[in-house]
Structure formats: structure tokens, C-alpha cells
């Protein structure tokens, strides 16, 4: 009888955890698709609201600045106030702001609503990995859960291209935001019903308001500087001044945190080698993934004259492979090889895929060459991204899991901004050089994309070297389940 009761309790808890994971991943999926659906619709938004190029950029930049700037703050608030609470507040704010974006009739309203969307996204994203890490403390179940996170992160991008193109063409751009509302209305009650809320210490004592202001200002100015590179260039005052200000604010924040008894960000988190090392490696991995995702869209548009929906369909093989691997293949590979070796093998396959992109002729048809390259990207990304997440959270104690999750997400955002800025600069330099030598505009653009792929290949190769040098052993995945 007792054994039956224990088994029944275990089954109920397993079902609750599965539904809780589904709610978290559904929220993450909504956040991911929002980025790509907006990118597809930008030309239509520009024409409808009569925006200049500079003002149009703020539709994206306002979101990125709020999102990247507030991740650390919300991550720490999740540790102190409860991660489920912060996740649900973030989703609620994101859903409400999405409705405001969908109803916006002016550029000012849209940009302001996008900024609020970024605040909500920061709240929800900052604690996603912490929730997964605490709900799934053992290695096998955590690897499966992380595979689900990887799947929705990759699939959301491809799905966003399809949905964004379809909604914009069939209706208008407002619907790319309004589609978030029903998803949010389903996800929030599901989170409330299925996610546990472990005891949180609360805001005891004095609140580190100065630290919150400093770290948020540092992150926001850093994101602003990176966003500005697309318009002004790396050496301009518009980039250099906020870049320097960001570093000074960060230094002031670290000095303050070292002196406080109850800091916003305990500096012990920076001494977790697996968290810091994996963040560096992940940044180099992201360079390869974004090269394919960002320049692949432009490449197929110019080389093959693909429209938005065909481009979205072209990425489906990559997404399908990641989906297949998330069903248990990646978890099995991590269990067989260990996270470190799986990362090395996965990044090596991604490097091979980038080499095929870099060396391919402009007039190469999608089938079979480009198709197989996208399949290889899916295998490489699926094998390397998940173990890096596992390594990142393995040694983070439960009391700091929200902050660790926020650091992982912030490193992703900063890496994406830096990587895209670098690759765009390389592509623009090569295109300009080709145009100056008399090459046609179309050929010059494609040549620039090839150079961007080559630089991304070098970045991934450096990431492999860093994995070998910095990750000297496989961490004990269950370690983060220990008391903090």
C-alpha cells in the first residue's frame, strides 16, 4: 500500500513537472518567435508608419536595450522573490505590451510598447534556465529538459519567419504582435497551476538599489553601443562613448558589490568556472549559428530570390533535426560522451557546415547542397548547445540559480549583438572592396556573406580550442541540486 502511494505520488509529480516544463517552454517559444516575426515585418512597418531608417531601427533597439539591460536584475529578483513569480510577471507584462504593439497607430507608441515588451521578456527569460535546473536536478532528466529548451529556441526562430511572412502578407503587421496574446493567456494560468515556488528569502534588509541602477545602466549602455555599430561604425563617438561609459559603470558596480554585505549580485557567482567558461564558448558558438541564421536569410534572398515564406521553409530541415535530437538523442549523446566531448564534436560539425557555406558558389541550388548544410547545422547546434547549458548550470548553487540563468541569457544577448556587429562589418567591408574592383552589386553582396561565414568558422574553431583548454572535466550535473 505504501509503495503504491509512493509510486502514485511520483507519477503525479512527474506529470506536474512535465506540464510545468511545457508551460516554461511555451513562454520561451513566444519570446523567441517575436524576434524573427518582427524582422520579417520591418519593411512593411516602415512603409506604413513612414519611418526613416534610423527611427525604424528603434523598433528593434528599444526592445533589445530593455531586454539585455534588465536580465541580471530580474535574475536576482527571481532568487529573492521567487522564480515562478518573476516568470509570470514577465510573461504578463510581455503579453500586455504585445497587445499594445498590435494596436499601435504611431511610431512613438510602437517603440514605447516594444521597450515594455523588452522588460517583460527580461523578466521571463532571466529565470527560465533556473526553473529547469531546479525542477530537473538529475543529469538525464535535465539533459532532456535542456534539449526541449534548445528546440524551442531554434524552432521558434524558423517558425517566426514563416508566421511573420504569412501574417504580414495575408493580413497586416499588427497581427505579428497580437498572436502573442492568446499564447500568453494560456501560458500564465498553466504556469500558476504546475510550477512549484520553492521558499525564497525575500527582500531582507536594505535593498541594493545603487547596484541595481549601476548594473542595469551598464548593460543598457553596452547594448546601445552594440546596436549603434550598425549605423555609426565601431570607431564613432556614438559607439565609443556609451561603450566606455558601460565599462566604467560595470567597474563601479563590481566595486560596490564587493563592499556590501547583501549585494544584488554576490561576486561568488563569478568564481564558478564552468559558468564563466561556458559563457565564453557559447558566445563563439552563437557566432556560427547567427551567421547561418542571419546571413542565410540574406543569402537565399539575393542568390536564390527566395521570399520570406520560402526562406522559412528552407530552414525547416535545420529545425527538424534539432527537434528530432531533442526527443532524447542529445540527452543520450551527452550521457554517452559526456558534456565536454559532446560540445567538441557538435562544434566541429557546425564548423564543417560553415565551411560548406563559405565555399559554396552563389548560384548553387538549394537541393541538395544547401539542404544538407542546414541539416549539418542542426546536428552540430543540437549536440553542442545543450551540453554547454548543462555545464553552465551544473555548479551553480540553488540560491543563485536565477542569477546564473540570467548570466547565461545575458551572455547570449551580448554575444548575439557583438557577433552580428562583427559579421556585418566583415560582410560590408568585403562587399565594398568587391564593388570597388568592378564586381556586380549582387555578386559583391554574396561575396560579403561568404566572408562572414568564414569569420564565423574561425570563431567556432576558437570555441573548440577554448572548450579543450577551459573545460578540463565533465561537471557533476547533479551538483547544483545540493543546498546552497
Q: Is the pLDDT of residue 402 over 90?
A: no
Is 93 contained in some domain?
Answer: yes
Q: What is the pTM of this model?
A: 0.76
Q: Is the pLDDT of residue 9 over 70?
A: no
Taking the C-alpha atoms of residue 217 and residue 212, their distance in angstroms, rounded to an integer, is 8
Is 147 contained in some domain?
Answer: yes
**Domain of residue 413, residue span:** 2-204+262-481
Is 429 contained in some domain?
Answer: yes
Burial class (CB in 10 A: 0-12, 13-18, 19+), 50: exposed
Q: Which of 59-73, 115-129, 442-456 shows the lowest per-residue confidence on average (mean pLDDT)?
A: 59-73
Q: Is the pLDDT of residue 91 over 80?
A: yes
3-state secondary structure of 223: helix
Which residue from 442, 325, 437 is spatially nearest to 386, judged by alpha carbons? 325
Is 211 contained in some domain?
Answer: no
Helix, strand, coil distribution of the chain in percent, nearest 5: 85, 0, 15
- 333-358 pLDDT per residue, tens: 888 888 899 999 999 999 999 999 99
Which residue from 234, 272, 219 is spatially nearest to 421, judged by alpha carbons? 234
Is 122 contained in some domain?
Answer: yes
Tell me, rounded to whole angstroms, the distance of Cα 7 from its chain centroid: 38
- The rounded mean pLDDT for the chain is 82
Which residue from 185, 72, 184, 186 is spatially nearest to 122, judged by alpha carbons? 72
Taking the C-alpha atoms of residue 28 and residue 149, their distance in angstroms, rounded to an integer, is 8
Per-residue burial over 375-391, b = 16 or more CB atoms within 10 Å of its CB, e = otherwise:
bbbbbbbbbbbbbbbbb
- 16-25 pLDDT per residue, tens: 888 888 888 8
DSSP string of 324-393, one letter each residue: HIIIIIHHHHHHHH-HHHHHHHHHHHHHHHHHHHHH--TT--IIIIIHHHHHHHHHHHHHHHHHHHHHHH
CA dihedral sign, ordered 259, 254, 404, 191: positive
Is 324 contained in some domain?
Answer: yes
Is 308 contained in some domain?
Answer: yes
Per-residue pLDDT band at 152 (split at 50, 70, 90): confident
Residue 127 maps to which CATH number?
1.20.1250.20
- 185-215 pLDDT per residue, tens: 999 999 888 887 776 656 555 667 788 788 8
Which residue from 157, 47, 70, 56 is spatially nearest to 118, judged by alpha carbons? 70
Q: What is the mean pLDDT of residues 383-396?
A: 84
Which residue from 401, 372, 425 is spatially nearest to 479, judged by alpha carbons? 401
Is 238 contained in some domain?
Answer: no
Taking the C-alpha atoms of residue 477 and residue 474, their distance in angstroms, rounded to an integer, is 8
pLDDT value, residue 458 = 95
Distance (Å) of CA 259 to CA 76, 122, 256, 272 = 18, 27, 5, 20
pLDDT value, residue 184 = 92
- 369-385 pLDDT per residue, tens: 889 999 999 899 888 98
Contact assessment for residue 403 and residue 269, using Cβ atoms and an 8 Å cutoff: yes
* Structural domains in the chain (count): 1
Amino acid at each position: 500500500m505504501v509503495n503504491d502511494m509512493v509510486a502514485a505520488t511520483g507519477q503525479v509529480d512527474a506529470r506536474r513537472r512535465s506540464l510545468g516544463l511545457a508551460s516554461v517552454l511555451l513562454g520561451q517559444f513566444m519570446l523567441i518567435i517575436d524576434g524573427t516575426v518582427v524582422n520579417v515585418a520591418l519593411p512593411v512597418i516602415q512603409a506604413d508608419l513612414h519611418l526613416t531608417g534610423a527611427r525604424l531601427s528603434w523598433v528593434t533597439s528599444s526592445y533589445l536595450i530593455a531586454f539585455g539591460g534588465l536580465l541580471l536584475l530580474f535574475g536576482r529578483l527571481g532568487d529573492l522573490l521567487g522564480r515562478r513569480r518573476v516568470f509570470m510577471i514577465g510573461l504578463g507584462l510581455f503579453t500586455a505590451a504585445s497587445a499594445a504593439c498590435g494596436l499601435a497607430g504611431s511610431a512613438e507608441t510602437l517603440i514605447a510598447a516594444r521597450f515594455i515588451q523588452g522588460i517583460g521578456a527580461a523578466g521571463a527569460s532571466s529565470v527560465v534556465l533556473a526553473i529547469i535546473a531546479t525542477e530537473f536536478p538529475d543529469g538525464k532528466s535535465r539533459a532532456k529538459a535542456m534539449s526541449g529548451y534548445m528546440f524551442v529556441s531554434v524552432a521558434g526562430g524558423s517558425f517566426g519567419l514563416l508566421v511573420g511572412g504569412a501574417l504580414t502578407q495575408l493580413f497586416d503587421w499588427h497581427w505579428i504582435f497580437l498572436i502573442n496574446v492568446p499564447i500568453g493567456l494560456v501560458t500564465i494560468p498553466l504556469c500558476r497551476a504546475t510550477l512549484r515556488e520553492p521558499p525564497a528569502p525575500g527582500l531582507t534588509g536594505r535593498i541594493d538599489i545603487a547596484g541595481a541602477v549601476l548594473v542595469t545602466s551598464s548593460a543598457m549602455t553596452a547594448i546601445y553601443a552594440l546596436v549603434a555599430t550598425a549605423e555609426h561604425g565601431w570607431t564613432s563617438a556614438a559607439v565609443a562613448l556609451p561603450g566606455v561609459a558601460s565599462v566604467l559603470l560595470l567597474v563601479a558596480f563590481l566595486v560596490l558589490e564587493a563592499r556590501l554585505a547583501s549585494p544584488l549580485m554576490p561576486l561568488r557567482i563569478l568564481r564558478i568556472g564552468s559558468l564563466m567558461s561556458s559563457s565564453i564558448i557559447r558566445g563563439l558558438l552563437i557566432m556560427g549559428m547567427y551567421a547561418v541564421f542571419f546571413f542565410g536569410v540574406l543569402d537565399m534572398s539575393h542568390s536564390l530570390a527566395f521570399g520570406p515564406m520560402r526562406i522559412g521553409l528552407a530552414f525547416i530541415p535545420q529545425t527538424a533535426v534539432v527537434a528530432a535530437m531533442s526527443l532524447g538523442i542529445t540527452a543520450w549523446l551527452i550521457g554517452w560522451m559526456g558534456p565536454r566531448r559532446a560540445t567538441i564534436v557538435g562544434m566541429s560539425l557546425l564548423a564543417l557546415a560553415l565551411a560548406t557555406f563559405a565555399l559554396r558558389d552563389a548560384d548553387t541550388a538549394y537541393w541538395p547542397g544547401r539542404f544538407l548544410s542546414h541539416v549539418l547545422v542542426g546536428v552540430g547546434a543540437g549536440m553542442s548547445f545543450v551540453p554547454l547549458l548543462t555545464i553552465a548550470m551544473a555548479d551553480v548553487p540553488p540560491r543563485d540559480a536565477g542569477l546564473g540563468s540570467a548570466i547565461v541569457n545575458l551572455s547570449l544577448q551580448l554575444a548575439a549583438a557583438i557577433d552580428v556587429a562583427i559579421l556585418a562589418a566583415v560582410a560590408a567591408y568585403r562587399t565594398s572592396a568587391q564593388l570597388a574592383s568592378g564586381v556586380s552589386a549582387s555578386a559583391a553582396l554574396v561575396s560579403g556573406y561568404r566572408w562572414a561565414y568564414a569569420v564565423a568558422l574561425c570563431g567556432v574553431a576558437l570555441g573548440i580550442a577554448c572548450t579543450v583548454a577551459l573545460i578540463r572535466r565533465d561537471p557533476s550535473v547533479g551538483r547544483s541540486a545540493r543546498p546552497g
